Amino acid sequence: MTPTYDEIVKAPKALLHDHLDGGLRPATIVELAAEIGHELPATDPAELGEWFVSAADSGSLERYLETFSHTVAVMQTAPALRRVARECALDLAADGVVYAEVRYAPEQHLTAGLTLPEVVEAVLAGFAEGSEQAAAAGSPIRIGTLLTAMRHAARSMEIAELSTAYRDAGVVGFDIAGAEAGYPPTRHLDAFEYLQRENFHFTIHAGEAFGLPSIWQALQWCGADRLGHGVRIVDDIEPGTGKLGRLAGYVRDKRVPLELCPSSNVQTGAAASIAEHPIGLLRDLRFRVTVNTDNRLMSGTSMSREMALLVEAFGWGWAELQWFTINAMKSAFIPFDERLTIINEVIKPAYAKLL
Ligand SMILES: O=c1[nH]cnc2c1ncn2[C@@H]1O[C@H](CO)[C@@H](O)[C@H]1O
Ligand SMILES: [Zn+2]
């Protein structure tokens, strides 16, 4: 039986790659922008939502990223950050996401005078509030935060230290993001070495707008636990035969989680369409594939919508959707026992009724 969108919403899902500043409600952007006098390309929420999707639909990661200037601009005070985080938790929970890791770059939220710890605390408070409200409404969600450093900037060591400072308060990992070409992950080697010495977890955006050298550096120089996107690992797979090169073989053998984001990849030109997205091949070859939203606002999407698009394009059913969900949960940055509890007590019983 083909899962429908409405059924997918009700099934438990796990999400590892979602940007806080890429998931705001358009109506919230309009209200926050009015408060601070920030000029927007549209002030009607529906129109603004459409503007984000079409502006991000640019075929280039650099132009896609330009749209974030409007979301980041309205996320500069503690109440604004708290509200955005609370609404993020509520929206994900309403979509049936039971576990999410949400990331953002604290260094981008300092223009109105907040300190880095104040930014982190406002977001954590918002997630806590949203999660409480979601549980009370009957859709419990667990949210872990990842702190991102911007790869073109030079604050990664500071952000890495900020991550470990808040590791017992809800920050579960670290990441680097931003334009990939010209900014290799090895620029931030000191931060990654620090995190390894601290027994902390990190993922790296790699293999999205740039290919194999970026993935190779992220894994073999920097020691990333997971790959943000990593979709260009297909460049190391022989077309037709499916023969793996050494790097692709390593990624599969070591079960390196790939945080794939189908709609986002189509918008930035990393994939021609959902149907031609390498997720089909990577799943057939049994890589550790996960499905993610990246930026719900810029892609006009949700976790359920991404899964529904894959069901439509590849003819997948509940077995595949469960596999993606368990892959994500296995790859999460929270402790093993907590991951297992969610798999055994939430995910498996729900899918057992659907399969
Ligand atoms: O797909 C992506 N690739 C690279 N960078 C991204 C992507 N999506 C968002 N960001 C960047 O990450 C920052 C923190 O959340 C965002 O402000 C955006 O610049
Ligand atoms: Zn991303």
- Give the pLDDT confidence of 314-339 residue by residue, as tens digits: 999 999 999 999 999 999 999 999 99
pLDDT at 89: 99
93's CB contacts (< 8 A; 6+ apart) are 130, 131, 134, 137, 139, 140, 141
| The pTM of the whole model exceeds 0.90 | yes
Phi and psi torsions of 210, nearest 5° = -140, 160
SS3 279: helix
Is the CB of residue 33 less than 8 Å from the CB of residue 77? no
pLDDT in tens, 69-107: 999 999 999 999 999 999 999 999 999 999 999 999 999
Pair type for strands 97-104 and 142-150: parallel
Which residues sit opposite 146 in a β-bridge?
103, 173
Give the residue, out of 18, 21, 263, with the most ligand 1 atoms within 8 A of its beta carbon, to mutate for a pocket test: 21
57 annotated as a binding-site residue: no
Tell whether ligand 1 has an atom less than 6 A from the beta carbon of residue 207: no
Distance (Å, whole) CA 315 – CA 308: 10
State the ligand closest to the CA atom of 88: 1
pLDDT in tens, 23-50: 999 999 999 999 999 999 999 999 999 9
Is the CB of residue 202 less than 8 Å from the CB of residue 175? yes
pLDDT at 154: 96
Distance (Å, whole) CA 322 – CA 327: 8
pLDDT at 246: 98
Atom of ligand 1 nearest to the CA of 264: 1
Strand order in the sheet with 142-150: 13-19, 97-104, 142-150, 171-177
Per-residue confidence at 119, pLDDT binned at 50, 70, 90? very high
Rounded average pLDDT over 136-143: 98
Share of the chain above pLDDT 70, in %: 100
Per-residue confidence at 1, pLDDT binned at 50, 70, 90? confident
State the burial class of residue 349 (Cβ atoms within 10 Å of its Cβ: 0-12, 13-18, 19+): exposed
How many A from CA of 177 to the centre of ligand 2? 7
Tell whether ligand 1 has an atom less than 6 A from the beta carbon of residue 178: yes
Q: What Cα–Cα distance (Å) separates residue 286 from each residue in 6, 235, 251?
A: 27, 16, 11
178 annotated as a binding-site residue: yes
State the ligand closest to the CA atom of 293: 2
19 annotated as a binding-site residue: yes
70 annotated as a binding-site residue: no
Tell whether ligand 1 has an atom less than 6 A from the beta carbon of residue 188: no
How many A from CA of 14 to the centre of ligand 1? 20
